[in-house]
Each structure stands twice: as structure tokens, then as C-alpha cells.
Amino acid sequence: MKVHASLLVHSSWTEIFAPIQGEIDTVLTRLQGVNTAPAHEMIFRAFESDLESLKCVLVGQDPYPTPGNAMGLAFSVSTSVQKIPASLKNIFIELNSDLGIPIPKNGDLSPWSEKGVLLLNRILTTEVGESGSHTHIGWKKITDHVAAELGKRNLVAILWGKQAQEVAPFFRLKVEGVHPSPLSAYKGFFGSRPFSRVNEILIAEGKSPIDWSL
């Protein structure tokens, strides 16, 4: 499915994206010539996953502004990034504490997106070097629509922090908590067991749990 120009997403998203195609076109037209994080060809990478395979959506805020970090998947950085962002380090610490999964050597979360987890940022772009610069250009309306559709499909939502929790009303099944950033992780993120809690919900719903290993 072609969203705009050469941006491709899985064909299973066609029905969801159709009502917001105008909004998507407007935002992407506004971004022409802008040095975005992630790069333009990665903006919709989260939607490369087959919608029918999804069990969980992990909602982030906006992409990492550091050059080369953002890759179109919430919280994830490519294997070539040597300095793992602090929030992601804290996620790995909690993953290890919760499920005993060894702390990964890199920050690439692509394996999760291949196991039924949609890694969706609330705001899909920012300007390189400037956090939050695209908060008010139209992305929230688009991700609100996506979240509403995912909620109808009974995905489990992981919502860390205030921005992610804006979409909480769309979901019947959810795990909410403190954002994993260094500023707040010690205020309730550590010890919150989000990964095992998601699996407990899935099992209660008659679905298979997620393999959270990386």
C-alpha cells in the first residue's frame, strides 16, 4: 500500500489509513525538504507489520532527535548506534528484571515488531536535533485514529507517560505506567513488570503470549 510518494506500508492497513489519507498527505507535504528524524523513508516503518499479526501496541512519544537514532519504531535504534538511549536502557533493565531476558547488546527492537508488537510513536517525526518540534503539525489526529482502530481489535496497549496515556480511552486492554526516562523511571517504572502483565492479559483473553526476547 502506498501512503505517499515512495512510502510503503503493509496492505492490511489500507482500510485503516483510507479515512485519514488527506491528513497524512497534508503532514507529509509540510515535511518536504525538512531534515526529519526518522528519515522520510522510515516514517511509516511501524506499519510494515501485518495488522492481523498484532497483539500489542507499545506507544512512545516522539522520535529520538539525535542524528541517526530514530528508525521509525518507537524507542528503537539501529544496531549501528553504539550509545543506547537512556530510556531504552531502562526498558532493558526492566525487561531483565521482569522476565529474566538478558540485556541486549544493541537497541534494535525490530524483533518485537516481528512478534506481534506495534512500536508506535504518538508523533511520527521531529526535526533532527530538536525534540518535540512536530507535536502540533497533525500527527496526533492520525495516531488517535490508528489507536482507536487498534482498540477495536482488542490489542493490549502499553502506555508509559502522559503523552502515551492520551490514547488510553481507546483501549479496553492496557498496561499504564511511568515513562522509562531517567527523570521518572525510579518513580514507578522499575518493578512495574509491564511485559509479563501484557502476557497475563493475552492469556486471559485466550491468546498466545509474546516472546519478548531480543
pLDDT digits (tens, 9 = 90+) for 13-39: 999 999 999 999 999 999 999 999 999
Q: What are the backbone dihedrals phi and psi of residue 53, each rounded to the nearest 5 degrees, phi first?
A: -90, -10
Which domain CATH number covers 138?
3.40.470.10
Percent of the chain with pLDDT over 70: 97
Which listed residue (62, 108, 144, 211) is catalytic? 62
Does residue 147 belong to any structural domain of this protein? yes
Residue 62 among the catalytic residues: yes
CA distances to 56, 118, 130 from 48, rounded to whole Å, are 15, 10, 26
Cβ atoms 54, 155 nearer than 8 A: yes
Q: Is the pLDDT of residue 2 over 70?
A: no
Question: The domain containing residue 109 runs over which residues?
Answer: 2-204
DSSP sequence for 81-107: --S--HHHHHHHHHHHHHH-PPPPSS-
Does residue 170 belong to any structural domain of this protein? yes
Does residue 214 belong to any structural domain of this protein? no
DSSP-derived pairing of the beta strands 36-37 and 126-127: antiparallel
Q: Give me Rg for the CA atoms of the chain.
A: 16
Does residue 45 belong to any structural domain of this protein? yes
Does residue 210 belong to any structural domain of this protein? no
Does residue 150 belong to any structural domain of this protein? yes
Does residue 112 belong to any structural domain of this protein? yes
Q: Is the pLDDT of residue 6 over 70?
A: no
Does residue 47 belong to any structural domain of this protein? yes
Cβ atoms 93, 190 nearer than 8 A: yes
The length of the chain in residues reads 214
d(CA 102, CA 115): 18
Number of domains in the chain: 1
CA distances to 33, 94, 95, 213 from 210, rounded to whole Å, are 39, 16, 13, 9
Q: Is the pTM of this model over 0.85?
A: yes
pLDDT digits (tens, 9 = 90+) for 131-155: 999 999 999 999 999 999 999 999 9
